[in-house]
Amino acid sequence: MGQAKTSFSSLLAEFQSLRGQIGSLFALAGVDPTKTREPARDLGISRGLAWRLTRIVRESDPTPAVTDLPGPASMTKFFDACRARAVPEEAIAKAAAAFERFESVLSSCTGDRKTLAMMMVNRSPVNAGNEASKARRQLFDGACGVWGVQAQTRFVSVFVFPSPDDPDMLNAGHVTGFVGFRRLSPKPWPLSYEALHTATGDAAKLLKTPLDPEGADEGQLQLIKRFCTPSLPDIRVVESGSYKRFELAAGPVGNEGLTTCVFGTHLRHIYPRYSETPDTAGFMVLLTTPVERVMFDMYVHRSMNMEAPPPAQLLDRLAFPHASPESDFARQSLPIAEAPTLLPAGIEGTLAPSIPWYTNLVEDVTTRLGVPITDFVGSRFEMSFPPIATTLSRRFDLRPKP
């Protein structure tokens, strides 16, 4: 019994690794796996094969898609199509090796794909949030018309680790931004807010340095320019009470003003690592822009022995618009069906279908922080059409010092 469980876990781990390699091939081929028809045309493969491969990459929970993985002959067609798109042979060989490992584990675990499909039938929970997602979609459509802005993806990525100069304190790499932001009216719009509060809701001093230290002012220094489009969007800094607001200046509407904007800072001594009394460390993102998807990743250093993904709360900021003590969060929370999930280890596990260059961003940030991705345990929370006038929060408990 124990061996079968281990083998099945190994099978899913190999699938996640292969999924990351397939996603990399799509990126190198210049093919968007979030589309449903274009990949078949661009790669010159059948629609059925393209659908199966793109589903493996684009699903936020890819585990049920393991049964869609094509067989050896079809994967060979995919690799040949990538060669025709001038994808480097080294990348194709790496993906082919990952596929061979998956096939080997599949053979020892279930014997064949038919048996695997039967094993997977009852493993995927029914999406209890379908009706809530429909309601949020309607709210998104209306909010776009009222506020005159929209975006494809809002993301937050936090990397928490002990401070090198004081192991009893925590540092964090904090990265956030928008993919596919567009104005529907030519007005400025806040893309990011910055503040630090204690558990009682009091403002605290924030010590930060830019992850990308090139720039003439704080707005430019806040950006990771390599991943911005345009590379230097016009960001204005506005201070309001305990918050600092980073606004995209007024500009063209529609696709003419389409913007991808990535902010990144290194936060130093942001929390104590230990606490003798009940306390938490956490990060929050104000959701004030209508977006199709929000993604909140947390990467916590392995030395902190996190037992489960830090949970997520969606806080009502319509009825409770101001900063408040953490003790009030429970009554301010809105019900959500979504929950954070652990990410597979390694850079392949960071694959984000809605952000094709996300793994490159993670590599860039961890290199700048001087902490490799293998030193973190990652988890992800995703929600479609999150309601605005809310705050998305993820927190974890601080433990007594051993």
CATH number at residue 382: 2.60.40
56 and 144 share one domain: no
Q: Which helix (H) or strand (E) holds 154?
A: strand 149-163
155 and 229 share one domain: yes
Give dist(CA 52, CA 18) in Å, integer: 14
Q: Higher-confidence residue: 11 or 50?
A: 50
- What per-residue confidence (pLDDT) applies to 13? 84
Give dist(CA 80, CA 9) in Å, integer: 30
Residue 280, in any domain of the structure = yes
Q: Higher-confidence residue: 329 or 206?
A: 329
Domain range for 344:
130-398
Q: Higher-confidence residue: 304 or 196?
A: 304
Give dist(CA 299, CA 43) in Å, integer: 34
Query: Which one of 87, 120, 153 terminates a domain?
Result: 120
Give dist(CA 82, CA 53) in Å, integer: 13
Residue 177, in any domain of the structure = yes
Mean pLDDT along residues 123-146: 73
289 and 350 share one domain: yes
Mean pLDDT along residues 21-26: 92
- What per-residue confidence (pLDDT) applies to 302? 95
Number of domains within the chain: 2
Q: Which of 180, 183, 95, 221 lies closest to 356 in space, CA to CA?
A: 180
239 and 285 share one domain: yes
Query: Which one of 120, 142, 176 terminates a domain?
Result: 120
Instruction: Give the distance, in angstroms, between the CA of residue 113 and the centroid of all CA atoms in the same chain.
Output: 30
152 and 94 share one domain: no
pLDDT at 310 over 90: yes
115 and 139 share one domain: no
103 and 157 share one domain: no
88 and 202 share one domain: no
22 and 158 share one domain: no
201: alpha, beta or left, given left = phi > 0 and alpha = psi -120 to 50?
Answer: left
Start-to-end CA span in the chain (Å): 35
228 and 308 share one domain: yes
Neighbour count for residue 12 (Cβ, 10 Å): 18
The single-letter DSSP state of residue 135 is H
Query: Which one of 102, 120, 138 terminates a domain?
Result: 120
231 and 354 share one domain: yes
* Two tokens, residue 170: 């925590």
Give dist(CA 109, CA 7) in Å, integer: 6
Distances (CA, A) of 390 to 40, 120, 316, 319, 365: 39, 36, 5, 10, 27
Residue 125, in any domain of the structure = no
Taking all residues of the chain, what is their mean pLDDT, rounded to a whole number?
88
Considering the entire predicted model, what is its pTM? 0.76
Q: Which of 271, 350, 291 lies closest to 144 in space, CA to CA?
A: 291
pLDDT at 200 over 80: no
pLDDT at 295 over 90: yes
**Most confident of the ranges 2-16, 291-305, 312-326, 330-344:** 291-305
51: alpha, beta or left, given left = phi > 0 and alpha = psi -120 to 50?
Answer: alpha
Mean pLDDT along residues 152-161: 97
Mean pLDDT along residues 359-386: 96
Whether 282 contacts 312, CB under 8 Å: no
Residue 345, in any domain of the structure = yes
Q: What's phi and psi for 293, nearest 5 deg?
A: -155, 140
- What per-residue confidence (pLDDT) applies to 128? 42
205 and 317 share one domain: yes
- What per-residue confidence (pLDDT) applies to 177? 96
Residue 366, in any domain of the structure = yes
pLDDT at 254 over 50: yes
